[in-house]
Amino acid sequence: MAKKSKKGAPTDVRIKLIRYSLHHPKTPRPLRFGTMRMLRHWTIHRAWKLYQAAQRKEREYELERQYNKMRDACEELRLTSPGLYERAVAKSIFRYPIVEFRIPTDTPAKNGWNHEWKRG
């Protein structure tokens, strides 16, 4: 496992790397900024926080609107037709994961979208 030379220093290069990063003269590495540079950094940080908060709020509002629409539709369904409502809100026992789902990637697939898919 650990090869040790005669003097006791390990020859395993991974251990060398760990020691390098632990005892490097620049570890840890605090950056020293001048006043104007610090102000710019602070401005960027504040702007980013504001931006993230706005994005988060927008996402929350969109979800809330979707939920409200769904709730109102189900309520209307319940008032018009109890039978349809029951069948709409009944939980199904059989639920399978969908194999064909794809997560978004940075660049498209080689084959692109399969427009020629046929049933059966």
Partner 1 sequence: MNLLSRYLPERLGGHSVPFFQPRHAFQPPPVDTPPVNPPLVNPPLANPPAVDPTKGSLKPVEAHGEFPRKDWWDIAAGVVISRPPLLTRDLPEFEQSYYFYQRRLNDRLQLPFARWFYFKKGTLAEDEWKRKQAAEERYQPYGPRAWADELLKGSTEHKLDPLKDYERLVATTVTGEEETMSIMQARRESAKEAEARGEEVEYPPEIVEKPFPRTTQADIENNTKRLDRKMSRTLYLVVKKKRDQHAWRFPQSRLSGKWEHLRWGAQRTLLEAAGPNMNTWFVGSAPIGLYKYKYPPGYAQNQVGKKVFFMKARILAGQANLTNNKQDLEDFQWLAKDELKEVVGNKYYKAVQHMLVAQ
Residues 56/64, Cβ–Cβ less than 8 Å: no
SS3 state of residue 31: coil
42 part of the interface to partner 1, by CB under 8 A:
no
- Which of 6, 7, 35, 79 forms a contact with partner 1 (CB under 8 A)? 79
SS3 state of residue 57: helix
How many residues bind partner 1, per CB under 8 A? Answer: 57
Residues 85/74, Cβ–Cβ less than 8 Å: yes
116 part of the interface to partner 1, by CB under 8 A:
yes
- Which of 6, 16, 38, 56 forms a contact with partner 1 (CB under 8 A)? 16
Kindly list the distances between the CA atom of residue 16 and the CA atoms of 9, 23, 115, in Å, as whole numbers in the listed order. Answer: 9, 11, 54
12 part of the interface to partner 1, by CB under 8 A:
no
| Token reading at 94 | 């059989």
Site residues (CB under 8 A) for partner 1? Answer: 13, 16-17, 20-21, 24, 26-27, 29, 31, 40, 44, 47-48, 51, 62, 65-66, 68-70, 72-74, 76-77, 79-84, 86-90, 92, 98, 100-102, 104-110, 112-119
